[in-house]
Structure 1
Amino acid sequence: MRHMATYDLMETIRNTNQWMGATARTVASYPAFALFSNPAIQWMAAWGEVAERSFERMNAKPDWGIRSITCADGRDHLVNIETVVQRPFGDLLHFDVAGRAEQKRKILLVAPMSGHYATLLRSTVISLIPDCEVYVTDWHNARDVPVSAGKFDIEDYTLYLVDFMRHLGPDTHVIAVCQPAPLTLAATAYLAEEDPDAQPRSLTLIGGPIDPDATPTDVTDFGRRVTMGQLEETAIQRVGFSYPGVGRLVYPGLLQLSSFVSMNLDRHSKAFGDQIMRVARGEASDHDAHNRFYDEYLAVMDMPGEFYLSTVERIFKNGEIAKNEFVVNGKPVDIGKITKVAVKTVEGANDDISAPGQCIAALALCTGLPDSMKASHLEPGAGHYGIFAGKSWRNNIRPLVLEFIDANSGKKPTAANSNAA
């Protein structure tokens, strides 16, 4: 009950701040105040608008917002988001472009389960839709999953990926972004031994902690500084009575958000102070740069407690993937069994979350692959988010990834394909 009360207290604090923002905005909008100009009243209305919007976003899942896309024929086509596989902890979505022939490239984009929704990859999806059939893993907020659905740890996550790959078939090209990179590599190796015909054509790992100790960062050091007992005591709570997952152990999204913000508190404080002044001067808009970023950044989801704890213990502390000692359902997963799936790694030179060296470690683990089926790219000047969104992704990384996919689309890599890879 103690951890459940803490969960409800955090939700109460969030709700109260949202109410205070709405109240300040409403009071400052009282018609009588329009009789004279008062900067303090304008500032209060602006603070209320920004506060209400910010705290409201923390409790809502963002919409994909992808209504249509311009294709190679120069026409706009409607995009229908279809659920092709539905599971308790996550679904497989397909972005179906109406009126367009099925594309040759079939991509499974594996989204992280690290506090934000899969919509964090919205710009990545938008950049791929015109040339590809795009499928995305859409992980659910753990607070909405009843306890009766059972546990969900990194082994379950891996088996979900195995099922998604089996469903899509062997002509799939998998792109894993950040946190799921090591588990996607493990899922591919699991298929290589258990169901070789279901393996994807290629696997692109973007900024993932395959070997966190290769180049330690503050994120990896945190895993070393705390014990599992301390982590469980301070980070894990039970979902409160307001949600379907009541009683489930989770790492709450609001607690995660407080950690995200505290890492760059000065920058976030300045961003919100500047936004309040822009609103007060009438210079802000509903979809300006601040709102576009923070509408997504503040939308956080609860992570299953066992998933979070097993990730820290087995990936970061014990390095089971890096040592090729990962076990799923009692079966050792040998990454060396991958013999016909081309593997590419992408890293950002300025990535302070998964630093250069952590992801490329995957290539050394793929002992069964010839060098012609391995590739790597280090993007100069790119940070963590820049390697899958923004200018670096659009102009440099995306074309290289698509070239790698095309080079490894045949049943057997030819000499030309090998050179391209």
Structure 2
Amino acid sequence: MELAFLKPLFARPGPWASVYIETTRATEDAAKIQQLRDRSIAGQLIDAGADGYTTRAVMERLAHEPVAGTPPGRALFAAGAEVVLDVPLVLAPPAGEATWSLLPHVSPLAALRGDAPACLVAYVDRMGADLELREGHDRTTVSEARGKEWQGRGHRGVPTDRYEWHYRNKVENSWNETADIIVAEIVRQWPMSGAELLVLAGDARERRAVHNRLPERVRDATVEAESGGRSPGSAMAALDHEIERACETYARDRLHRTLERFHRGRGKPGEHREASVDTGPGEAAEGIPAVVDAARNHQVATLLLTPEAADAGRQVWIGPGVDEVAVQRGEARAMGVPRPEQARADDALLRAAAAADCDVLVVPEGMRGPAGGLGAVLRWSM
């Protein structure tokens, strides 16, 4: 999960109301269930000590929850009588949860928001291409690449007289120029979109020509879809399924590569923890002391979390700065924090990771992740 969208939460002080709810409406008594859910959320916030203004802001947002197009779940984060962030969830939370804490309780997002990559889709034909960005449930039209006009476009047949070779050559040159225009627009939009995966859909010959012209850094993150196209109604359901499978494959491969790097970097079991006491972390950090130290030094490239991690809920000491996090209170004071306060380790680490533009991956049950459930792959070793 990319963390940039969380930065608005850490740009203002707390305390924070953090709410995770299921929003599906598949049953006949959905209205009654929603009423009971909202009452439970309000009760949890009040019992936790939330102020009335912030609680009211949360309840007003829930009361105006849209009926159409509702995702399986939502996460709301509110402070100072304002809902600052409302996040659609790919998975529904197992139960409605509301907390009131110094930092926003963002750690459940890693599992509930999903780890599907942002995907740039190019619908290609001889006329050009339409570019669309897909992020979870959201689809945004990005731009259009218009191909070069050529005389005779739209003719169903090809002349059979002595000018046929010139005609074919002109058509081919025109398409080559159009493919170059499409590639230039993809390359222009790629870094701005934040996409990690490019999907080329449309006519087989045209998408192959675009694929071959892409620079290596983009081509390595590109797949071709057999379904869908630029014209309306062109097998879009089948294309959606292909894109979903491509995103799942990408996410699975990314997690495997990251875990391999993590296990190589931490060395033998127990070796890293002992080494980190005197010499600092190597290419991976494992356990709260080592990960906190790496986060404080802006060293974390990817934060690894295991669901229900034993170390996630442990308390650490923080200051107002996003990288002011320490295992011991005295350590925080030595960093210059006059009044350290306690927060959950996972939320404090995610605050630091978001500020440093890190990524976070969830290690599912059954896979060998970091001991205690918290680990990191580092940008550089010490």
The verdict on a shared fold, with TM-score over 0.5 as the criterion, is no
Instruction: State the TM-score, normalized to the length of structure 1.
Output: 0.24
* Higher helix fraction (1 or 2): 1
* Higher strand fraction (1 or 2): 2
Which structure has more relative contact order (CA 8 Å, sep 6+)? It is 1
Instruction: State the TM-score, normalized to the length of structure 2.
Output: 0.26
